[in-house]
Structure 1
Amino acid sequence: MNGVTCTPDPSLLESMRSVGYSLNTAVADVVDNSIAAQAQQVSIRYFDYGESPYIAIIDDGTGMDEHEAISAMKLAGTDSSHERRANDLGRFGLGLKTASLSQARSLLLCSVKNGHQTTLRWDLDHVAAVRDWELEVLNEQQTIRALPTKVRDLMPSTHGTCVLWRNLDRLETVAGDSLQDMDQAMSELSDYLGLVFHRFTHPYPNDGIPKVELTVNGMPVPKRDPFLTESMATQPQRLQRIPGTEATLCGYTLPYPNKLTDEDKETLGLTSGKRQTLSDTQGFYVYRAYRLITWGSWYRLLPRKPGTKLSRVRVDIPNSMDDEWTLDIKKSRATPPKVIRDAMKRYVSKLSTPSRKTQKWRGRKTSEEPEARIWDVINDREGTFRYEINEDNPYIMSFISSLSDKQRRDFTEMMRILAVAFPYDDMQARISVDQANEEPHLADDEIRGMARELWLFCNQHRGQSAEEFVNSFKDKEPFSLCKNGEDVLSEVTHDQR
């Protein structure tokens, strides 16, 4: 059979620009190469006042010789089916080119290995002018002129690589062409990189990977950890290995929003102005060789709802499972194969219980007895519920017992009105955006006054002893809401003796 060689037209480079990269995913793809090259420092620089627009990613990795650099600049320069090193974050051999050209019309690669420098450039305008796949090779003087001064100052002398983007036409169309627009875009990029590479910038103790310093214009990317592993209030689950695979699952339940410190919120990326909530960020967090690929989804295995907003599951997969997960070119989306999806479904079905418990009774010492709480939850038919004042609560019951018949009727009517007017919609709206309510707090004097009046009534009208009184109320609201409620109850019984 005869065949015809169909060489792609050079205009293919223009078509490749529409793969779907954003600035964040494009830069992350280049950083992947730096980490795969064993870089310990990755510096991202962009232009300042008085400079022509550019973005540069400079690392101190192993670097490339001329042959390796040319291979890196080829389309699909590596075979995606070949076995990769465990720390290799590459995939299709297209990332450097497609990611870079999605944002800029000029991609320059300058790499140093064993003190020898190689500089190559894809320039779309040059390719269009010569109508050929001509990769420019720059000598030392041409390289000096091509690199911005601040980038030259960061270039390694013995080993490392710089990727330089010029003519940022696509980026300017999306983000804007002013320096202020660029500052905003790069601030968002820094947040994104802080999350995606958080296990490299701040490795977990059992990860066993070297730390990477990642900066944007000299500032470290923010510390991120979607599981708050350093918080004593986070509830980690047991690590589970999926049989027949090298994938693992590990669930976490975050502290209730009122228990989150400002530092916790910053680590979670929930600070004001970012418009993200705990509900938005619940779900599976899929890591490929410790690099975060996708997050904030339950893959339709569990509905996204307030009851699970504190739940997260860390899914670790090796790069040897790329085919099974149908990883896309941008490494921003992955679909679990059936064997892993089934394991994820079994695992997540049990995970939401700690989240609901954490939200339902957040740190209260109240007992589980039906009469312990002042508000009672009434579960009606068809899955609806409502709140009512719990007349079986000892404090409420004692108060009602001290009223006249008319006062009792008036109080009962008032409780019914309070229950009907309970602001469910407003409360739901505020909780959905993680707006923190002020924790109920009773001052010692307030709780002491309530306890004193209650003790007089229970002792004189019911004949309760001091021990019976303390045991009846110490784990019942409102006294259980006070840290030293039991001590206050005991004190008032001694005061009246």
Structure 2
Amino acid sequence: MTDRWQFEVPTNGTKHLPPDARYMEALSSQGYGFEAAIADLVDNSIDAGAKDVVIHFLRDADRLVSLLVIDDGKGMTEEELDVAMTVGGRRDYDAKALGMFGTGLKSASLSHASAVTVVTKTRRTRAVGRRWLMERAVNGYQCDIVDPSYAQTLIDRYSERPIVWQGTVIRWDGVKNFPQHGGGGQTDRYLHRTINRLGLQLGLCLHRFLARDDFNITIAVEDVNTGLEYMNFGVDPLDPFGYPKVGHPEYPKTFTATIPSVGDVPLHAHVWPAKSTLDEYKAVGSVLDRQGFYFYRHNRLVQAGGWNNFRQPDQYLSLARVAVDLPDTAADVFRLTVKKEGVDTSPEFADALNEAVDTEGRRFTEYIGAADAVYREARRRAGTTRKAVIGPGKGFDPSLREAMEDELPVMHGEEPISVRWQKLDNGNFFDIDREDRVIVLNQHYRSAVLGGRRGGLNDAPTVKSLMFLLLHQVFEKEYSGSREKDNLQLWQSILVAAARAELERMADDE
């Protein structure tokens, strides 16, 4: 009776309300990260049956000009291309396709570029192309038709046998996060950082595909003037379950969660060995991020870590990882985000986890205890029973936060300690804001700490880590005793003297 009442609303006809052209701006503002956007394009290549995908950065001397994603998939006819370039364009997805919503190509591309051009060719059709230019897109969904001769030229550029070659080229122009000025090695530094992160992201979320013999992803950089391709390497699979030896002798083990609206869902529970330094373990976020569920949809990793309201993250569960292949008929229990970076689960899933068992009748909750025990035993053997601390927050480099959280148990539910530079009138090296949990470093000494280098939000990691180790206990106590106050004054005096000495050395060098 209640469900029926919800829909008993009198109506009087319908009215067609097409989206405003500014919807394109909203589409491009969904918070796509750069790596996630590229991964979405590669998903389309996999759906097209590609064996090889190339991610190609083009530069003109010190300036990056374009980014292209090229695949040797089956390509598209002109009609299929129009559907692909239509916002929300409906096409018949294969039962095992990675695409879902019909927005990934446009949303991912226009989140990072002012123009996206798609050129494609099948074995039996000519090369065709379309271009979304943001300024035209927001003015009535005007999509440009690419000149056929240019479309064929772009196809030929990436094919050894242009007569029979098939596939698709996606080109981004006006990429928003490319360095505006490439001088002083800025472009090289950007490429190093970006390609490293991109390789890790693609290696992780597509590791099952990359592990096959018939699929490859290559990242390359080419100078458009000289034609010199001075960087070209393949992406390696990064299996989050690729440990060389087990962390617990009884695992991995498969539990079964029975969900009434979905059926039986296998949970492949793993325990990593303690103190692992492998990228397969450490590349997945922080200690608290990397534990929990790893959801796959059609072999594509769509969530790396997280307990999905089953429990809170815990320092002692950092070795626990559970692989879950999402069922095709997920009902409303598993809802994939548009960016394929997470899965929203209903309370029905959490309830089923409490009742999940393996073939011997052992409960999934026992696995949680086993993973916890492995971590604690590793700490005991190392002789490190460390007290939990308030964790580091903004101002600390992510790799520094990760190292701290690896070594120190972190208090849960506590606002982290941040660090920032700020002008201090008292000449001290640092100040402490207990209420907002901030370590304030004196801006006057910043150049001394950085050695004259340009600063940033996460600069001076060595000094900041030392300040955290000296001061974190101050934030964990309600007040400072006389001995602690004396220590604070001691540290102030020595740090101020050191910073002033460094400033004097810098002045002498000038």
Classify the TM-score, shorter chain.
0.5 to 0.7
Query: Paired residue for 1:20, among 31, 40, 65?
Result: 31
The corresponding residue for 1:488 is none
Counterpart AA for 1:342: D
Q: Cα distance 1:32–1:231, how it changes in 2: closer, same or farther (>3 A)?
A: same
Query: Paired residue for 1:226, among 237, 240, 265?
Result: 240
Counterpart AA for 2:173: R
Query: Cα distance, 1:267 vs. partner?
Result: 2.7
Q: Over residues 396-444 of structure 1, what are the superposed CA-to-partner deviations in whole Å (9 max), with x where a residue is unaligned?
A: xxxxxxxxxxxxxxxxxxxxxxxxxx973499999964359xxxxxxxx
Q: Quick one: distance in 2 between partners of 1:155 and 1:333?
A: 40
Q: Over residues 164-219 of structure 1, what are the superposed CA-to-partner deviations in whole Å (9 max), with x where a residue is unaligned?
A: 1111136669x99845324422321221111111111126xxxxxx7521222232
The corresponding residue for 2:210 is 201
Query: Paired residue for 2:336, among 309, 327, 332?
Result: 327
Counterpart AA for 2:255: Q
Q: Cα distance 1:25–1:229, how it changes in 2: closer, same or farther (>3 A)?
A: same
The corresponding residue for 2:506 is none
Counterpart AA for 2:254: L
State the SS of the aligned residue for 1:329.
Answer: coil
Q: Quick one: distance in 2 between partners of 1:171 and 1:290?
A: 31
Whether 2:35 is the aligned partner of 1:62: answer: no
Q: Cα distance 1:149–1:54, how it changes in 2: closer, same or farther (>3 A)?
A: farther
Q: Quick one: distance in 1 between partners of 2:35 and 2:163?
A: 25
Query: Is the Cα contact below 8 Å between 2:253 and 2:270 reproduced in 1?
Result: no
Whether 2:174 is the aligned partner of 1:167: answer: yes
Whether 2:169 is the aligned partner of 1:158: answer: no
Query: Is the Cα contact below 8 Å between 2:206 and 2:237 reproduced in 1?
Result: no
The corresponding residue for 1:137 is 145
Q: Quick one: distance in 2 between partners of 1:234 and 1:47?
A: 47
The corresponding residue for 1:351 is 367
The corresponding residue for 1:125 is 135
Query: Is the Cα contact below 8 Å between 1:48 and 1:179 reproduced in 2?
Result: no
Whether 2:248 is the aligned partner of 1:239: answer: no
Query: Is the Cα contact below 8 Å between 2:64 and 2:179 reproduced in 1?
Result: no
The corresponding residue for 1:212 is 215
Query: Is the Cα contact below 8 Å between 2:257 and 2:266 reproduced in 1?
Result: yes
Whether 2:406 is the aligned partner of 1:434: answer: yes
Q: Quick one: distance in 2 between partners of 1:326 and 1:35?
A: 22
Q: Cα distance 1:431–1:354, how it changes in 2: closer, same or farther (>3 A)?
A: farther
Larger strand proportion of the pair: 2
The corresponding residue for 1:41 is 52
Q: Over residues 296-327 of structure 1, what are the superposed CA-to-partner deviations in whole Å (9 max), with x where a residue is unaligned?
A: 21123223223211111111103442754222
Query: Is the Cα contact below 8 Å between 1:144 and 1:152 reproduced in 2?
Result: no
User: Structure 2 matches for 1:97-116, cutoff 5 A?
Assistant: 97-116=106-125
Q: Over residues 207-259 of structure 1, what are the superposed CA-to-partner deviations in whole Å (9 max), with x where a residue is unaligned?
A: xxx752122223222431212255355653332344343632110001121xx
Whether 2:281 is the aligned partner of 1:268: answer: yes
Q: Quick one: distance in 2 between partners of 1:362 and 1:154?
A: 57
Counterpart AA for 1:36: D
Query: Paired residue for 1:424, among 386, 392, 396?
Result: 386
Report the RMSD for the aligned CA atoms in angstroms: 3.7
Q: Quick one: distance in 1 between partners of 2:368 and 2:333?
A: 27
Q: Cα distance 1:45–1:65, how it changes in 2: closer, same or farther (>3 A)?
A: same
Q: Cα distance 1:303–1:425, how it changes in 2: closer, same or farther (>3 A)?
A: same
Q: Cα distance 1:352–1:211, how it changes in 2: closer, same or farther (>3 A)?
A: farther
Counterpart AA for 1:237: P
Q: Cα distance 1:12–1:356, how it changes in 2: closer, same or farther (>3 A)?
A: closer
Query: Is the Cα contact below 8 Å between 2:43 and 2:99 reproduced in 1?
Result: yes
Counterpart AA for 1:312: R
Q: Over residues 128-150 of structure 1, what are the superposed CA-to-partner deviations in whole Å (9 max), with x where a residue is unaligned?
A: 6xx432222223333367x4997
Counterpart AA for 1:353: G
Larger radius of gyration: 1
Q: Cα distance 1:4–1:266, how it changes in 2: closer, same or farther (>3 A)?
A: closer
Query: Cα distance, 1:97 vs. partner?
Result: 0.7
Larger helix proportion of the pair: 1
Q: Quick one: distance in 1 between partners of 2:271 and 2:36?
A: 28
Structure 2 gap ranges (5+): 1-11, 221-231, 357-363, 392-401, 409-510
Q: Quick one: distance in 2 between partners of 1:119 and 1:361?
A: 60
Q: Quick one: distance in 2 between partners of 1:431 and 1:104?
A: 34
Query: Is the Cα contact below 8 Å between 1:249 and 1:315 reproduced in 2?
Result: yes
State the SS of the aligned residue for 1:96.
Answer: helix
Q: Quick one: distance in 2 between partners of 1:18 and 1:431?
A: 33
Whether 2:325 is the aligned partner of 1:316: answer: yes
TM-score between the two structures when normalised by the length of structure 2: 0.62
State the SS of the aligned residue for 1:6.
Answer: coil
Query: Is the Cα contact below 8 Å between 1:120 and 1:135 reproduced in 2?
Result: yes
Q: Over residues 7-40 of structure 1, what are the superposed CA-to-partner deviations in whole Å (9 max), with x where a residue is unaligned?
A: 4343332232112211122111111111111212
Of structures 1 and 2, the one with the larger relative CO (CA 8 A, separation 6+) is 1
State the SS of the aligned residue for 2:135.
Answer: helix
State the SS of the aligned residue for 2:17.
Answer: coil
Q: Quick one: distance in 2 between partners of 1:101 and 1:337?
A: 31
